[in-house]
Structure 1
Amino acid sequence: MSQIGNNIKKLRKVKGLSQQAFAELFGLTRGNISSYEEFRAEPRIEVILQIAKYFSIPVAELLEKQLTVNEILNFEDYFVDDSAIKNAKNLAQIPFIGREAFQMGQHVLADLVNLPQIYFPVYSKSSFMAVENNSFIPRPVSFPFEENAILFFEHVEVDILHTLDQHFGFYLKEENLFFGQYEVEGKDIELVLNDWKKVSFTTEDAVCFWKLYAKFEKVL
């Protein structure tokens, strides 16, 4: 059975595209995309070739296998998918917040267990989260990272509080989330988005605070 319908749907979600927006990329209608995703029809071969070329995915994989988030993001040379994890050593399993998560509702973001998992060589005992830099997440004006860069964040523990000053971080609590920069003055720690929005670090809310650990940007 062809996987093209499943893969079109997953491509849309990972790339943050509605059925209409996806259709317009390839001169189709929203009804066309709906019929592909519901297995009522399959695209013509020329459309399949266009999709494969546009997203840099081999035609055979687009048709025959259910694509992983890593493969869709074209990070397969760096991220390890579930099929290879049994043979991989020293790889951390990391929850991943991509732009598609925002289409599934904020409740998904609040429960990291429900997020897609990626595997990456992060050599630390700390907890990590990977976040795609995208327009759904507020950020400081001075935020220096490219759109779609994957940012790795380390959970803020008491023993790294002294390292936070002027470092970028991520705040996630229920429906409130943003990238910011830490400001430390004595024992007072704030993660600052801008002059109007900031949150103070407390040990009770420590689970909501993350410190930037690394970035991954695909060089084309």
Structure 2
Amino acid sequence: MSQIGNNIKKLRNVKGLSQQAFADLFGLTRGNISSYEELRAEPKIEIMLQIAKYFSIPIAELLEKQLTVNEILNFEDYFPVESVSEDGGSFAKIPFLDREYFRQYDPVGQPIEKRPIIHFPLDSNNKFLAVENSSFIPHPVGFAFEEHMILFFEQVTVDILHTLGDHFGYFDGDTPFFGRYELAGKDIALVLNDWKKEVYGAETASHFWKLFGKFERVM
């Protein structure tokens, strides 16, 4: 039996997408997604291919295996570093903030645009940022990512505001930190702890990022 319906539901939950939001990505209806997840129907092959490409998951894995949260978030198994060409080809060019960037952090003297670039296969027009997890970056309770793991973040846009609730994110302002998004009515905040949070607004929107995935080198 195909696992496409189970995996669509898992993808939605991991990425924080409602059935309608997921449907909108692929020109479908909420009813389509509901029927897939309830195993009453399966998407056409062209839709399956679009889903696999959008989430950077091999089509065979999407169809034949019940994906875990770690597999959805972890790019390692699918895109080994040595497979990336020197010039990046059609791969996305993502600024990389390593631990040295944060060791003596200076937001004025270290503009993100001047950072080294990681070439990575992401099929999206949105901006992305790669950050090496380290002890130099404050993080909230429950932030279960190990040192040196590279975390990929998608810049928050109006289109994904509704997906932020209870998801991890990164704030790259004067005092960078990892936090968890909290939604209260129309108010959105990235929360580090009881004493530190940043409220999303028009003036600060470019500083907010949502966790998209992780890269973990297996030694």
Is TM-score (shorter-chain normalized) higher than 0.5?
yes
Residues 175-194 of structure 1 show CA distances to partners (whole Å, capped at 9, x for unaligned) of x1000000011111110101
Please state which structure has a larger fraction of its residues in helix: 1
1:204 partner SS: coil
Residues 147-201 of structure 1 show CA distances to partners (whole Å, capped at 9, x for unaligned) of 1110000000011100000000000113x10000000111111101011111111
**Structure 1 residue 107, shift from structure 2 partner:** 3.5
**Structure 1 residue 123, shift from structure 2 partner:** 1.2
2:176 partner SS: strand
Matched, 1:193 2:196: no
Rounded to whole Å, the distance in 2 between the matches of 1:130 and 1:78 is 14
Rounded to whole Å, the distance in 1 between the matches of 2:157 and 2:164 is 11
Match of 1:215 in 2: 214
1:85 partner SS: coil
The count of corresponding residues between Structure 1 and Structure 2 is 141
Residue among 69, 86, 90 paired with 1:84: 86
Contact 2:188 2:199 in 1 (8 A): yes
Q: Which amino acid aligns with 1:115?
A: R
Contact 1:80 1:120 in 2 (8 A): no
Contact 1:80 1:119 in 2 (8 A): no
1:173 partner SS: coil
After superposition, the Cα gap between the structure-2 partners of 1:138 and 1:129, relative to the gap in structure 1 and judged at 3 Å, is same
TM-score by length of 1: 0.59
Matches within 5 A, 1:163-178: 163-174=163-174, 176-178=175-177
Contact 2:181 2:191 in 1 (8 A): yes
Match of 2:100 in 1: 100
Q: Which amino acid aligns with 2:177?
A: F
**Structure 1 residue 102, shift from structure 2 partner:** 2.7
Q: Which amino acid aligns with 1:114?
A: K
- Taking only aligned residues, the RMSD between alpha carbons, in angstroms, comes to 2.1
Contact 1:137 1:179 in 2 (8 A): yes
Contact 2:107 2:173 in 1 (8 A): no
Rounded to whole Å, the distance in 2 between the matches of 1:105 and 1:182 is 24
**Structure 1 residue 127, shift from structure 2 partner:** 0.2
After superposition, the Cα gap between the structure-2 partners of 1:105 and 1:143, relative to the gap in structure 1 and judged at 3 Å, is closer
Q: Which amino acid aligns with 2:193?
A: N
Rounded to whole Å, the distance in 1 between the matches of 2:83 and 2:104 is 24
Matches within 5 A, 1:62-211: 77-78=80-81, 84-85=86-87, 88-89=89-90, 91-103=91-103, 105-107=105-107, 110-174=110-174, 176-211=175-210
**Structure 1 residue 77, shift from structure 2 partner:** 3.5
Residues 105-155 of structure 1 show CA distances to partners (whole Å, capped at 9, x for unaligned) of 423675111111110111111000000000000001210111111000000
Rounded to whole Å, the distance in 2 between the matches of 1:210 and 1:219 is 26
Give me the identity figure in percent. Answer: 51
**Structure 1 residue 79, shift from structure 2 partner:** 6.5
After superposition, the Cα gap between the structure-2 partners of 1:186 and 1:136, relative to the gap in structure 1 and judged at 3 Å, is same
Q: Which has the larger radius of gyration?
A: 1
**Which segments of 5 or more consecutive residues in structure 1 lack a partner in the other structure?**
1-75
Match of 2:9 in 1: none
Higher relative contact order structure (alpha carbons within 8 Å, sequence separation ≥ 6): 2
Rounded to whole Å, the distance in 2 between the matches of 1:104 and 1:157 is 29
Rounded to whole Å, the distance in 1 between the matches of 2:177 and 2:82 is 25
Q: Which amino acid aligns with 2:194?
A: D
**Which segments of 5 or more consecutive residues in structure 2 lack a partner in the other structure?**
1-78
